[in-house]
Structure 1
Amino acid sequence: MSIKHWPEGERPREKLLAHGATALSDAELLAILLRTGIQGMSAVDLARYLLQQFGSLAQLMSADAATLCRHKGMGMASYTQFAVVREIGRRVLAADMAAAPLFDQPQAVADYLRLQLGQEKVEVCLALLLNQQNRLLHTVELSRGTVAENTVYVREVVTLALQHHATALILAHNHPGGLATPSAEDIALTRRLQQALALVDVHLLDHFIVTSQHAASMAELGYI
């Protein structure tokens, strides 16, 4: 049965308007985004099918184009729509988190960095520049490399800290392979950067290794 023939209180769009988005299930939210179903399936039926195939809303929304398009009812238009929704959500959440009073708790920083780096397919390195109260001044992308290689120059990081009058800095980069374990190169870079920043009275607070599921603090691991 088409959604338009459902009782009004059960239709996802009307339910949202009456009770708010939080009252909707994942399938109902997705059905509103899909707008229409396919032959033999309403939008809600299609949404339930997709959630069953991918296991969760998060997995569905982060699927690459090739994977998504293998499923019925899905094509490049759906992929671009999902990608836009995902990126808007990421930017809104990142902006909210960046506006938080302090960046002095590892978990708060980890949550922010997972939003920034967790879905990147290549290795990206960021510097979070902080003031004396550990408030975020700027987030700067230092480099973007291949899946297996990235290069960060210590001199450039020190220059950035001085240009933005930062008194503290957090370094972060992702491991697209999925393991949040610091490599020997990560440890060596952290120690070189810590020594160089100390010469200009900038404190390296931490270096995070980020995956889609986790962000490991090298300070908590004892490397800083």
Structure 2
Amino acid sequence: MAIRDWPEGERPREKLLALGPEALSDAELLAIFLRVGVRGRSAVDLARDLLGAFGGLRPLLEADRERFCAEHGLGMAKFVQLQATLELSRRHLACQLGRGDALTSPSLVRAYLAAQLRHLGHEEFAALFLDSQHRVIRFESLFRGTLDSASVYPREVARRALELGAGAMIFAHNHPSGVAEPSDADRRITERLREALGLFEIRVLDHFVVGDGEVVSFAERGWI
């Protein structure tokens, strides 16, 4: 049965307008993105098929172009549309974070850093540069590593912080393995960064490790 023949309260678009997007399932939200189904399958049916084929929403959203476009019912136009939607979401988080004090919005900081780093298949070390009132100056990726490790150079980090006039910093890196538990090496490099930046009176406020379903804060663990 076509979606237009469903009861109005069960159609994804009408349901979203009546109850809000949080009331919809992954399949219903994806169906709105897809707009149409394929022969013999409604957009919701197709969405459920795709979620099953990819193993869930996140693998679908993070699929590379070749894998995404190979699936029946998708294609290059949908891939471009999805990438634009995801980037808009990241920029929206950046706008929210940039309006205020980063330390008063820990959940927003977490969400922003996860959006920037969680989908990467390689390890990347990044930083939020903050002014003396802890307002965001900018976010930058500083070092890119292999699947296992990234080389981080405190001298380069300090140089960039001075260029931007930063008074404080929040670091973040992802673990492509999906396990967010910080390693001994993560703790050592954080201490080296604190020492190097401390020479210029630049505070390290936190270091987040981004995994699949968790983002670990060094500050919350009492390590900073």
1:153-196 per-residue CA deviation (whole Å, 9 max, x = no partner) reads 21111122222222111111111111222223222211111111
**Aligned AA for 1:127?**
A
Structure 2 matches for 1:126-205, cutoff 5 A? 126-205=126-205
Cα drift, residue 18 of structure 1: 5.7
Q: Give the structure-1-normalised TM-score.
A: 0.82
Q: Distance in 1 between matches of 2:12 and 2:183?
A: 48
Distance 1:188 1:17, change over 3 A: closer
Distance 1:62 1:152, change over 3 A: same
Q: Distance in 1 between matches of 2:69 and 2:115?
A: 25
Q: Distance in 2 between matches of 1:190 and 1:78?
A: 41
Q: Give the structure-2-normalised TM-score.
A: 0.82
Q: Distance in 2 between matches of 1:183 and 1:166?
A: 27
Number of aligned residues: 223
Q: Distance in 2 between matches of 1:17 and 1:214?
A: 28
Aligned residue for 2:173, secondary structure, equals strand
Q: Distance in 1 between matches of 2:100 and 2:212?
A: 22
Distance 1:223 1:11, change over 3 A: closer
Aligned residue for 1:146, secondary structure, equals coil
Q: Distance in 2 between matches of 1:97 and 1:20?
A: 27
Native 8 Å contact 1:143 1:151 kept in 2: yes
Two-structure CA RMSD over aligned residues (Å): 2.9
Q: Distance in 2 between matches of 1:35 and 1:105?
A: 35
> In percent, how many aligned pairs have the same letter?
46
Native 8 Å contact 2:178 2:211 kept in 1: yes
Structure 2 matches for 1:77-156, cutoff 5 A? 77-104=77-104, 106-156=106-156
1:37 corresponding residue in structure 2: 37
Distance 1:24 1:104, change over 3 A: closer
Q: What 5-or-longer segments of structure 1 have no aligned partner?
A: none
Cα drift, residue 117 of structure 1: 0.9
Q: Distance in 2 between matches of 1:128 and 1:143?
A: 13
Aligned residue for 1:103, secondary structure, equals helix
Q: What 5-or-longer segments of structure 2 have no aligned partner?
A: none
Aligned residue for 2:178, secondary structure, equals coil
1:212 aligns with 2:212: yes
